[in-house]
Amino acid sequence: MKKTHLFCLICLALLLLGSCTDSDFTIEGQIDGTPDQAITIAYNGDNGNIIERVMLTEGNRFSFKGDSDDYTLLWIWDAQGQLIAQMVVRDGDQLTIKSDGLRLPTLDITGNDITRQWMKFRKDNINTFDSSDKDAIDHLIEQQIAQHPDQLLSTVLLVAEYNQLDNAEKVKSLLQSLHPDVRSDRLVSTVEYIIDHHKKNTTIIGPLTLYWHNHGIENLNVLGQHYVLFFWSRRDADRKSCIDSLVSWSRQHGDKLMVADILVDTDTTQWSHTLKSDAASWTHWWAPGGIMDPALQDINIGHTPLFIVTDSTAHITQITGDPAQLKLK
C-alpha cells in the first residue's frame, strides 16, 4: 500500500512538472470595466502563419496558452475589434496582465519585462504616439536604437511601430545597428523580407488573411470583382478627404466596384470610433502586424494612404497614393 501511494505521488509530481515546461507560454488576464465578452487572441506562430483563438471571459478573466519558440508579437482585442493588449511573448513566459480595456499604455503586466518596457515607452511618449506625426514617432525610435542598440525594446519598436519601411536603406541600416543578441529571427524576418522584395512588383492580389471588423480572422478575396483596396493609418492627415473621394467613387461605379479599407496600425484603440464617423458601407479590415503583417508581405505598402485597384482576375491595374487619380479599367 505504501509503495502504491509513493508511486502515485511520483506520477503526480511528474505530471505537474510536465505542465510547467518551456514548450509554451501562458497568459492569465483580467479586463476591467466591461461585461464578459468574446475576445480574440492572435499571434505569429512558428510556421509564419497567424494563429487565432476566440474565447469567452468569465468574471472578466481569461486564461490562454500558446506556443512560439522565439519572440513573437501577440494581440488581444475585444468583441468590437478594439485592441486592448499587445505584447511580445515566447515559450517559457508566464504572463499576468490587467487591462482597463481603454488604452494600451495602461496595461499592467508581470512576468514579461519586454512588454512592460514597450508599454512604458509608449506611455512616456503618449503625446507623440497619439499624434499624426509619423516623422516624430520614427525619430523617437531612431533615438532609442542609436542609444540602446543592445536592448530588445529597440528591435520591438522598429518592427511594431516604425513607419518608414518603404525606405529600405534606412531600415537596413537600423537593423544592422542592432546587436545580434537582440535581433530576434521571428521579429526581424518580416522586415528583412520587405527589404529584400521591395523592388519587386506584385501583379496579383491573392487572398489576404486579415481581421474583419466585428467578425474575426477571415480571408479577403478580391477575385471575381473589381476592387479598390484602401490601406490607411490613423496618423494619415488627409484621411477624411480620402474617404470622401472613395465614397463618391463607389457611388459612381455602383455594383461594378467593391471597396475594402485595411487599417495597417498595430494599435486599434480608436478604430471602431473612426469607422462610425466614416459612415462607409464597405468592409473594414485590420492587419494586426501593420504593414509588416505576413498577409501583406508581397504588396510592399511602405506608406499610407495607398490605393490598389484590381480587376476581376485579381490583377493589379493601378497603385496610387492620390484618390483623385483612381481609374477603373
Cα–Cα distance for residue pair 121/217, rounded to 1 Å: 29
Is 127 or 7 the better-scoring residue by pLDDT?
127
User: 174 is written with which cell numbers?
Assistant: 537600423
| CA neighbor of 299 nearest in space, from 229, 213, 252 | 229
pLDDT 10s digits, 260-280:
999 988 767 677 777 877 778
52 and 86 part of one domain: yes
In a domain, 116, yes or no: no
pLDDT for the residue numbered 102: 58
Instruction: State yes or no: pLDDT of 18 exceeds 60.
Output: no
In a domain, 111, yes or no: no
pLDDT for the residue numbered 25: 93
160 and 215 part of one domain: no
178 and 262 part of one domain: no
Domain's final residue, options 138, 166, 196? 196
Instruction: State yes or no: pLDDT of 120 exceeds 80.
Output: yes
Instruction: State yes or no: pLDDT of 190 exceeds 60.
Output: yes
pLDDT for the residue numbered 40: 85
Is 166 or 93 the better-scoring residue by pLDDT?
93
Percent of the chain topping pLDDT 70: 83
Least confident among 47-51, 127-131, 282-286: 47-51
In a domain, 121, yes or no: no
CATH number at residue 305: 3.40.30.10
In a domain, 202, yes or no: no
pLDDT for the residue numbered 121: 93
260 and 184 part of one domain: no
150 and 222 part of one domain: no
88 and 173 part of one domain: no
Mean pLDDT of 306-316: 92
31 and 90 part of one domain: yes
187 and 232 part of one domain: no
Cα–Cα distance for residue pair 134/222, rounded to 1 Å: 30
96 and 55 part of one domain: yes
102 and 29 part of one domain: yes
316 and 213 part of one domain: yes
In a domain, 72, yes or no: yes
Across the chain, mean pLDDT equals 81
pLDDT for the residue numbered 84: 78
41 and 134 part of one domain: no
CB atoms within 10 A of CB 94: 13
Number of domain units in the chain: 3
In a domain, 203, yes or no: no
Domain's final residue, options 163, 196, 229? 196
In a domain, 115, yes or no: no
Cβ contact 263:137 at 8 Å = no
Is 302 or 129 the better-scoring residue by pLDDT?
129
User: 302 is written with which cell numbers?
Assistant: 511602405
Mean pLDDT: which of 59-73, 91-105, 183-197, 295-309 is highest?
Answer: 59-73
Instruction: State yes or no: pLDDT of 302 exceeds 70.
Output: no
Instruction: State yes or no: pLDDT of 179 exceeds 90.
Output: yes
Instruction: State yes or no: pLDDT of 81 exceeds 50.
Output: yes
Domain's final residue, options 196, 226, 253? 196
Per the structure, the complete domain to which residue 76 belongs is given by: 2-106
CATH number at residue 30: 2.60.40
